[in-house]
Each structure stands twice: as structure tokens, then as C-alpha cells.
Amino acid sequence: MPSIEEYVDMGYSGIVVLACETHERQSGMQEEVTRERIACRDRQGKYLELVVVTVKHPLKRTSFRINERRLLTGEQYTEYVAKHGVRDTERFYREREARREATKAANEEIERLTPICPACGAKMVIRINRQNGNHFWGCSTFSWSNCRGTRDISVALAVRLDRLNAIVRGTR
């Protein structure tokens, strides 16, 4: 099922989750199908009830589609809000903006800390030595150009970059 943030990115707001059911398809591929019924407002301010079907497949990208769409009255929407509560509150938007700012700052710092290959001038990436497990900077073009440019990396810097990458992965 799409996250609340994905619904907001699609242009919906005031999201109220009414029902959610998940089952595994009998395809033999562990395909998980989720059917979620939500009430929300669209960009024009119309109240809608949507049925969103999400399919998670181990070999394909997760896909979702809106199966049903019907208009709601303001009274119906208000009843749903009173019974189930709104998911995208003002706090949600503040936290979302804070995550985006943290991700932007982390990406800028990663960019600043990433060196350039001394041999070819391409960006470098962190690699791991197979013999001793130590981290080092290796050329990002190694796989297709066989550039063997390397640089040492301190343990403290490797830990710092891991933390920054965790911040970036924590968002979409």
C-alpha cells in the first residue's frame, strides 16, 4: 500500500484510512496484494473515497492503482474523520519537511566528502577489501574502464558516511 507520504505526493490530503486488507496471491511467487480504502481530498478540494490496490512482487517494482473512486459529501468525510482520524496532520507535514531538509544536508555533505579519483578524475566510492575487510576509496568507473585509482579512508570518515547514507535511505 502506498505510504501516507506517497498519497500526499499524488496530490491527496486529509487522508483517512478506512480499511486495509492484505493477502498473498496463489501465483507461487509470493506476490502480496493489499487493498486499502481511504477517504481524502484531491487538489480541487473534492472529497473522495478511493480503493487503492497495491501489488508487491519479489522480482518486479511495487505497483499500485486506484480501483474505485467515488465522490463523498462533506458530512460523510467528517464522519470518517471523527471515527478513524486523519493521518496527514500538521505534525506530519512538519516532520516530512524536516526529513527533506536533513536528506538535502546529508547529500550535500556526502558530495563534499567524496574525493575525485587521482587517476581519471571520476568520483570515488567506498569499497571493501576482501582480504582484511577494511574500507577504501575506489574509482567509480572501475567496472567498465578498469581504472584502478584508490585512496585510503579513515575509519571515522567511513562511519560518518555510513550515518549520512542512513539519513538519506530513511527517506524515499
Closest alpha carbon to 161 in 149, 171, 169, 172: 169
Q: How confident is the model at residue 77 (pLDDT cuts 50, 70, 90)?
A: very high
Give the three-class secondary structure for 134: coil
Average of per-residue pLDDT across 19-31: 81
Beta bridge partners of 53: 35, 65
Give the three-class secondary structure for 145: helix
Average of per-residue pLDDT across 127-155: 88
User: Could you read off the pLDDT of 53-74 as tens digits, one per residue?
Assistant: 988 888 888 888 999 999 999 9
Distance CA 147, CA 124 (A): 11
Strand order across the beta sheet in which 135-139 lies: 124-128, 135-139, 150-152
